[in-house]
Amino acid sequence: MLNTTVIMNHLELDMDLSMIPILQRLPNLFLIEGTEGGGEEKAAIAAMIATAGIIFIFSLILGEICTRLKLPSVLGDLVSGILLGGSILGILIFSTEGTEANSVLLRFLQFITGVSSETMEQAYNFQMKEFLDESANIGLLTLLFTTGLESNLKELIRVGTQAVTVAFAGVIFPFTLGTLALIKFFAIGTIPALFAGAALTATSIGITAKVLQDIGSLKSDEGQIILGAAILDDILGIIILAVVLSLVQTGEIEVINVIYLLISAASFILGTIFLNHIFGSIFVATIKKINNPAALMLLAVIFLNSCALLATSIGLEAILGAFAAGLVLGETEFQKKIQELFEPFIFVYTTIFFVTVGARVDLSVLNPTVAANHKGLIIAACLIIIAIIGKVIAGFLVFADRPINRLAIGAGMIPRGEVGLVFAGLGVTTGALSNSLGAAIVVMVIVTTLIAPIILNYVFPRYSSKLDDSKDCTKITERDCLPISKFN
């Protein structure tokens, strides 16, 4: 029987739910054997500080460039990661196979700390995993939590049917078209084709949510439909992945696992709606009784971690729990105050998250001069077209009794981001995907991740040009603005 917990461990990318600063854990975590003269902790701290500084400098400069070009700032973070990754500058290295960290930076850090080259290299590799990886995971959880805070549970329920339509169509069309195209036109085996088709179903809610926040459209009808559909996409993607992995490992589908995932997801969503009605008043009453000024922030973090942990314990993604926690607390009177308290986490940790997403991109798979890349690039072109068309079709299937930007909804589902990379990574490690097919999926993820913010910025106007006639235009608010455009 397929072990669902193992699958989720892969999908969570070793997600650490603790928000305790990594610096406090260095003495216990950092143990290097065979070094002379000590200095391991000093080297790790120096590497951490230098790496973080470089990330923020690049993010600041490229983010400013994107802002001046009227592009989402998240695009600057993604490009910063690509520049800092192993493909170019070699400052952010997440793989030990065939890639070395920037030698100039290592020598500089060695000079500053006075430790041996071996100790410095080990310290640098340590902080890449323990600091950046965990900080990126905190950033993703925080982003989804604040996305939930800014969302409106009643609005999500109101557009729930539309979100379900988009989610199912956004899974069925790319999965079917991708699988059939690979089998018919490229003579790919059934199981590898199914795995690649499954990778096309994912939606990177983190990237889409950040773009929607940047352009002020998160609370629009379109934004709420996209969020709801993206959450469901993740759930459906996990189920499809479980089925495909079952085929790879056992040659048959474990129906019990599929049913378990469906029941778990449905129960968690319904539980969130129920919790919203009873927990909000308890949370507010508790805060008002506590005089500690840090109580609101600490209780919010505790609730966030608890929901994320609950989600992982039943086989779902931690980000779903973080989003649910935000939805519940977003209905309380402390919603705006919690948002303000979490802004530092957003500015720091989500920047690290998006930069690390870009840093994991391997540009070598895009090199057309390498003969081994040719087949992968051709397949990638096919997958990119299907990845975009499949989601756009899903957007146009939305039914509504008033004008709605269907193209924007479809565009919001395009980025595959880190979710697609997880699918590709699991496919290669399990032997389900060949090198060329794995590279093709990586290219598809790169392209959809980079172009989605640009497309969204174009089809999703920052301010509405029309207003819903049913509303009083003299008392207009951001939530009342409908991002309607010529793309209806």
Q: How confident is the model at residue 462 (pLDDT cuts 50, 70, 90)?
A: low
Task: Supply the Cα-derived Rg of the chain in whole angstroms.
Answer: 23
Q: Of 232, 200, 258, 260, whose CA–CA distance to 443 is shortest?
A: 200
In a domain, 81, yes or no: no
- pLDDT given for residue 45 in this prediction: 87
Per-residue b/e over 459-472, b at no fewer than 16 CB within 10 Å? bbbeebeeeeeeee
Lowest mean pLDDT among 99-108, 334-343, 465-474: 465-474
Q: Of 181, 225, 174, whose CA–CA distance to 402 is shortest?
A: 225
Q: What angle do CA 221, 227, 228 make, to 5 degrees?
A: 90
Q: Kindly report whether the global pTM for this prediction surpasses the value 0.75.
A: no
Per the CB < 8 A criterion, the answer to whether 316 and 237 are in contact is no
Describe the crossing of helices 134-150 and 318-329 by its angle, rounded to 10 degrees: 40
Those residues with Cβ within 8 angstroms of residue 9's Cβ, 6 or more apart along the chain or in another chain: none
Domains: count for the chain: 1
Q: How far apart are CA 463 and CA 216, in angstroms?
A: 8
Helices (H), 69-159: 73-84, 103-113, 117-127, 134-150, 153-158
Per the CB < 8 A criterion, the answer to whether 365 and 376 are in contact is yes
In a domain, 48, yes or no: no
Q: How far apart are CA 473 and CA 88, in angstroms?
A: 51
Q: How far apart are CA 281 and CA 119, in angstroms?
A: 53
User: Tell me: the pLDDT tens digits for 6-46?
Assistant: 344 444 444 344 444 444 444 444 444 434 445 788 888 88
Per the CB < 8 A criterion, the answer to whether 312 and 318 are in contact is yes
User: Tell me: the pLDDT tens digits for 203-256?
Assistant: 877 778 888 877 778 778 888 888 888 877 877 776 777 677 767 766 666 777
In a domain, 11, yes or no: no
What percentage of the chain's residues is helix, strand, coil (to nearest 5)? 75, 0, 25
Query: What value does the mean pLDDT take over residues 457-466?
Result: 60
Q: Which backbone phi and psi does 170 adopt, to 5 degrees?
A: -70, -15
Q: Of 121, 102, 84, 150, whose CA–CA distance to 331 is shortest?
A: 150
In a domain, 84, yes or no: no
User: Tell me: the pLDDT tens digits for 277-288?
Assistant: 777 778 888 888
Per the CB < 8 A criterion, the answer to whether 409 and 395 are in contact is yes
Per the CB < 8 A criterion, the answer to whether 155 and 383 are in contact is no
What's the domain range around 175?
A: 145-342+370-462
Those residues with Cβ within 8 angstroms of residue 322's Cβ, 6 or more apart along the chain or in another chain: 140, 141, 142, 144, 145, 148, 304, 307, 308
Highest mean pLDDT among 60-69, 275-284, 319-328, 428-437: 60-69
Tell me the residue length of the chain: 488
* Exposed / middle / buried, residue 32 (Cβ in 10 Å: 0-12, 13-18, 19+): middle
In a domain, 298, yes or no: yes
In a domain, 36, yes or no: no
User: Tell me: the pLDDT tens digits for 272-328?
Assistant: 777 777 777 788 888 888 888 888 999 999 999 998 898 888 877 787 788 888 888
In a domain, 485, yes or no: no
Residue 170's H or E segment, with its range, is: helix 160-186
- pLDDT given for residue 97 in this prediction: 52
* CATH classification at residue 296: 1.20.1530.20
Query: What value does the mean pLDDT take over residues 162-166?
Result: 88
CA distance readout (Å), 382 to 179, 182, 396, 411: 11, 9, 21, 18
Per the CB < 8 A criterion, the answer to whether 140 and 74 are in contact is no
User: Tell me: the pLDDT tens digits for 357-389?
Assistant: 778 777 777 778 888 788 888 999 999 999 999
In a domain, 237, yes or no: yes
